[in-house]
Structure 1
Amino acid sequence: MSDKRVYSNNPRVLAVQTLAKIKNGAYSNLQLNQVIKKHALNDSDKRLLTTLVYGVIQHRLTFDYWLTPFIKQKKIEPWVRELLYTALFQLQYLDKIPQHAIFNESIEVAKTLGHIGTAKFVTAILHNISRQGLPDINAIQNPIQRLSVEASLPVWLIETLVKQNGEAKTRQIIGSINDAPAQAIRVNTALSTDEAVEQALLDEHFTFVKSKVADHAYVVTGGHVAGSKAYQDGLLTLQDESAMLPVEALQITTQVKTVLDAAAAPGGKTTQIAQYIADDATIIALDIHAHKIRLIEANAKRLRVSDKITAQVLDARQTANQLTTKFDRILVDAPCSGFGLLRRKPEIRYDKTLEDVMNLASLQGEILDSVSQNVADNGMIVYSTCTILRQENDDVIARFLSKHTDFELVPTMTNKALKSNRQETVLHIYPNDYHTDGFFVATLKKKTVQ
């Protein structure tokens, strides 16, 4: 960050400050929300701030490639680099702001956060870019390296996706990850109906379309739903459409009396389960952190399903040692790398490594091994992740089945019969399939003891 302590409501200044903090490890969505709450911004400034922050994160490797010939070996402060990235983003991806305005605003930000020398440096770089043009990405000979720069994804991730899905499918996936994420909601059928929620949304001037992916779900535009009366009253909750599928896959009926949500925070899927179970059924929801248990409880209270949920602090790997209940259904929405969430958390692409992925796969296997000992005969485990990498998905399931012959992989079912013609027993949802988060869902059934 700039050493100057500057309080400003200029969205471009705020964007540079926010990006510098995110580069130092802050989460993009949390940091951005914090900045918006702290500063008195009108709607257009909020939009510009959000667009600049997410735009720079999404294209960081591209901008680095473009900027390198102009900076060469010069050492520049990190915030100055972020400032130049915001200028490049506006030049290349926003068509309503003229070049002279972008240059003038960027130079003013340099003066605000730095000094006259910084402003002169930024001026020189921008004018050199204007005169010489940006380097052509097509000049990169290596196709993987070229795709990495073009899509702003690390080489190892591109290589992995191409190996697992082929180049054509990989291009389709990465062609969609920088699109704006949809705002999806789930109707709380424990408290309301689809029709009543539709009317509530209309009353608050939202527009919506019914989800093609999940039941009791809508994609909503026209405002921030979390600020609505319908949300505050617990009639609905925010949840991505594909994130609703693991609970649908549990196939909960009135005969299901005990459910374990093994990695439950913040409680989206736990409260979804509560909509489906019978009045005399119970859910135990686990998380390793006490503060996250409080999130589960708060969500359950808002949606008025607290009476069905018992939340407790427990590492899911200790389930077999700490819980004696044999559950009819167990959901393992496992901790994962999150590469299905690139639209919402674009910085993930730079933070995670292949080593991280393999470590997570090991953790996921340990959780499955433990909870499998608490499944009732004929009961089921649904395993899900919000990543699109097979190391954390198919490979984890294959290893589990090789060790647990008392389980079998059965077709993953969804209420709308998604990908009903697929050859795989498991369900892969890629970000480009339905314009949702990427998800993986596998269904494991405990064999009946003879």
Structure 2
Amino acid sequence: MKYTTNNPRQLAVMTLVRTSNGSYSNLQINAVIQSTSMGPADKGLFTNIVYGVIQHRLTLEYQLRPFLREPEKTETWVKELLYTAMYQLEYLDRVPKRAIFDETIKIAKQMGHDGTRRFVTGILHQMDRQGMPNLDDIQDEKTRLSIEYSVPTWLVEMLDEQLGKPKTASILASLNKAPKQSVRANLAKISQKDLLADLAKDGYDAEPSQVSSEGIIINDGQIIHSDFFTDGLLTIQDESAMLPVESMQISPDDNVLDACSAPGGKTTQIASRLKAGKVFALDIHKNKLKTVQRNATRLGVYKQVETFELDARKVDTKFEDGLFDSILVDAPCSGLGLLRRKPEIRYDKTIADINRLSEIQLQILNAVSAKVKTGGTITYSTCTIVKQENQDVIAKFISENPNFDITKTKTANHLNPDSKMVQIYPDDYDSDGFFVCSLIRKS
């Protein structure tokens, strides 16, 4: 798509209209950045506004409602424009109010007409005089938490039931923080320690991850545009997402199955440990396997990776029993541990989705269970934080497969001293929420 403007605020409104119609925010943001000539500061403001409005949508909707006489008759783009102004006023300290008002009113006229300009001007000045509605006035606590942190009520209730009020409140408060820029050192080419030293020489403010022994947090600069990324010394990956492979006991000559591989972060992490061995990477989508192959090529581990377009539930059609030394099932899930990076997930998912996904997760585990050798391990992981997709799936699998036992998931930083499984919540380390469990085949 061609854009006739480089105004980051106007582009944010246009992007928010598309995401409100079901488009993925990260794809839309990337498309706009690639199709316009915004400078770095404007790109940052544009991205901040888009993600910020999506993150705080329920809060902004609640606060705007009293100022609209006929909300159902107000055009979508006008509401999105007002949300962008409200977000900047409430959450961006460095942007002067006058600049926000002037830009918002100007966009109202450019995208609409003089009547739209008057309408938007009136609401902005009314908000300025009256102030925003006070969330503390909401009597029901779960409704208040839902609106304050902009998550659906059902999720508040589910977390409250499973984890209790203090932990739920802590998780919800963490979800709207900016995600950290996290990378994984490609052990096929360089150690974490040497990569940290090289990053420091190049002027990057970088520090080792508290979560993964392979992870590094980049505190400034866009590492994806660096030679470190181009040369395959590192890859972009959340530190929690590194734990499933870090916990696997992989030898250089092993055959490993990655049952749900795309986009390839964990596939290439497995491959970085192999020499003569191979990782067999499955995915149901052919196009996504191309991404796996591109990542493996950039990281220099393509010889250790073989891809197959295959639903993991149909492994019997391709592989014989007992073929693999270990198996990774990084299962399709609700993604509720990723709300910081993918804020629209919170509005898309339902309890029905969680129940449907937990059935698929169990089906995949059951399907691959015969493919691991006796004494071998299946590592099950998800990027979600609810028991239905994690502990409950494991309990059902063990009850249906008595030839498997849960064995302790070992992490380099000993993250689970009191449990065999690893459950990372988004507020624990300000990383993605993740679950990892190791299952050993006894016979």
TM-score interval, smaller chain? over 0.9
Contact 2:196–2:208 under 8 Å retained in 1: no
Equivalent residue in structure 1 for 2:426, among 426, 431, 435: 431
CA-to-aligned-CA distance 1:261-315 (integer Å, 9 cap, x gap) = 00001111011111223x2211101001111111111111111111111111100
Partner of 2:157: 159
Q: Is 1:291 aligned to 2:287, yes or no?
A: yes
1:119-138 aligned at under 5 Å gives the runs: 119-138=117-136
| DSSP 3-state at the match of 1:209 | strand
- For residues 100 and 229 of structure 1, the distance between their equivalents in structure 2, rounded to whole angstroms, comes to 41
CA-to-aligned-CA distance 1:389-425 (integer Å, 9 cap, x gap) = 11111111111111111111111111111132x2x32
Partner of 1:335: 332
Partner of 1:216: 214
Partner of 1:395: 392
Partner of 2:306: 310
CA-to-aligned-CA distance 1:169-199 (integer Å, 9 cap, x gap) = 0111111111111111111111223344234
Partner of 1:200: 198
Q: CA deviation at 1:28?
A: 1.1
Partner of 2:354: 357
CA-to-aligned-CA distance 1:10-49 (integer Å, 9 cap, x gap) = 1110010011111111111111111111111112111111
- For residues 357 and 163 of structure 2, the distance between their equivalents in structure 1, rounded to whole angstroms, comes to 21
Contact 2:185–2:195 under 8 Å retained in 1: yes
Q: CA deviation at 1:100?
A: 2.5
Runs (4 or more) in structure 1 with deviation over 3 Å come to none
CA-to-aligned-CA distance 1:54-83 (integer Å, 9 cap, x gap) = 110111000111111111434111111111
Equivalent residue in structure 2 for 1:320, among 296, 316, 336: 316
Q: Is 1:43 aligned to 2:40, yes or no?
A: yes
1:71-110 aligned at under 5 Å gives the runs: 71-74=68-71, 75-110=73-108
- For residues 210 and 94 of structure 1, the distance between their equivalents in structure 2, rounded to whole angstroms, comes to 29
Which range is displaced more, 347-356 or 203-212? 203-212
TM-score, normalised to structure 1, is 0.95
- For residues 352 and 207 of structure 2, the distance between their equivalents in structure 1, rounded to whole angstroms, comes to 40
- For residues 134 and 221 of structure 1, the distance between their equivalents in structure 2, rounded to whole angstroms, comes to 33
- For residues 97 and 358 of structure 1, the distance between their equivalents in structure 2, rounded to whole angstroms, comes to 44
Q: Gaps (5+ residues) in structure 2?
A: none
TM-score, normalised to structure 2, is 0.97
- For residues 348 and 434 of structure 2, the distance between their equivalents in structure 1, rounded to whole angstroms, comes to 20
Q: CA deviation at 1:223?
A: 1.3
Q: CA deviation at 1:320?
A: 2.5
1:372-411 aligned at under 5 Å gives the runs: 372-411=369-408
Partner of 1:179: 177
Which residue identity does 1:433 align to in structure 2? D
- For residues 178 and 272 of structure 1, the distance between their equivalents in structure 2, rounded to whole angstroms, comes to 29
Q: CA deviation at 1:52?
A: 0.7
| Percent identity of equivalent pairs | 49
| DSSP 3-state at the match of 2:23 | coil
Contact 1:242–1:439 under 8 Å retained in 2: yes
CA-to-aligned-CA distance 1:324-371 (integer Å, 9 cap, x gap) = 152110000011111111111011101111111111111111111101
Contact 1:147–1:158 under 8 Å retained in 2: yes
Pairwise CA RMSD: 1.4
Which residue identity does 2:318 align to in structure 1? Q
Q: Is 1:281 aligned to 2:288, yes or no?
A: no
Contact 2:208–2:216 under 8 Å retained in 1: yes
CA-to-aligned-CA distance 1:225-252 (integer Å, 9 cap, x gap) = 1111111111111111110000012122
Which residue identity does 1:291 align to in structure 2? N
- For residues 298 and 189 of structure 2, the distance between their equivalents in structure 1, rounded to whole angstroms, comes to 11
CA-to-aligned-CA distance 1:95-117 (integer Å, 9 cap, x gap) = 22232322221111111111111
Partner of 2:232: 234
- For residues 75 and 376 of structure 2, the distance between their equivalents in structure 1, rounded to whole angstroms, comes to 57
Q: Gaps (5+ residues) in structure 1?
A: none
- For residues 235 and 329 of structure 1, the distance between their equivalents in structure 2, rounded to whole angstroms, comes to 26
- For residues 25 and 108 of structure 1, the distance between their equivalents in structure 2, rounded to whole angstroms, comes to 27
| DSSP 3-state at the match of 2:329 | strand
